[in-house]
Amino acid sequence: MSIFDLIIDDKEKIRLDDISLNDDNRRVCMQIMKENFYSEELSRYGLPVSNKILLHGTSGCGKTMTAKAMACELNKKILILNLSNVVCSRIGETSQNMRQIFEKAGREKAVLFLDEFDQIGKSRGSDDKDVGEMRRLVNTIIQLIDYFPQNALLICATNHTDIIDAALLRRFQIKLKYELPEKEILDNYYDRILSVFPENVRQITRQYDISFAEAKDHTYTTVKSMLINKWDQNEKEEEICTTK
């Protein structure tokens, strides 16, 4: 299997307004997109565009959705790669695979989204079994990030910044932290995903202190149960009517 077979070429169109972000993260995302829009003007002043972004924090809180939205807003193709599927027992192969992926993203001026970045960015020396190989892999990733072209966008996501090599972390111009959403933001999210359903199933017991992904799962499970109960009741009433 080629490494390119593991890349998801996602064509889902998601706008920044479609996702729930806190005010700080939304402001930074808007800044990144405007920098890309005015890249030529900024270059006249020798100012680089921020095109290396690290999204970190709690799972299910919108990191992947943010990457998709930025790609959509910038009208760029997005290449999604889960790095847990890429790391080989022979780390030299992993280095070569990563080089090919970065080159592809650069050629296509795409958004490259690397999920579970900690899989390849572990601190050099943290792996006693193969310190030398891990150092070489991290050095390769550092070089690839340093030479990543300005007209492409690199977005990496992790839940574990504490194990990522410090030199790698320094390469990211922007770092956005994702935490469990506050009650008001989660209520807005509930309102949005419930709005497509009939009114009689919109009044669900809402859960808080959970991620967006967990809130979505909870909503869908509850709504399905309510709809099925309603349909079952209708079936029973029809059976009673037909037997009379």
Q: Which residues lie closer than 8 Å to 13 by C-beta, 6 or more apart?
A: 72
Helix (H) or strand (E) holding 111: strand 111-115
Beta strands of the chain (E only): which ranges? 8-10, 52-57, 78-82, 111-115, 153-158, 174-178
Asked if residues 77 and 9 have their Cβ atoms less than 8 Å apart, the reply is: yes
Q: For position 136, what pLDDT does the model report?
A: 82
- Strands (DSSP E) found in 22-99: 52-57, 78-82
- In one-letter notation, the amino acid at residue 189 is Y
The answer, as to whether pTM is greater than 0.85, is: no
Q: What's the CA gap between 106 and 76, in Å, rounded?
A: 12
Tens of pLDDT, residues 191-212: 999 999 999 899 999 999 999 9
Tens of pLDDT, residues 110-137: 999 999 998 887 655 555 555 667 778 8
Instruction: Check whether 163 has a pLDDT greater than 90.
Output: no
Q: CA–CA distance from 68 to each of 111, 116, 230 (Å)?
A: 9, 16, 36
Domain 3-178 top-level CATH class: alpha beta
| Cα torsion 13, 16, 19, 25: sign | positive
As a whole number of angstroms, the distance between CA 146 and CA 66 comes to 23
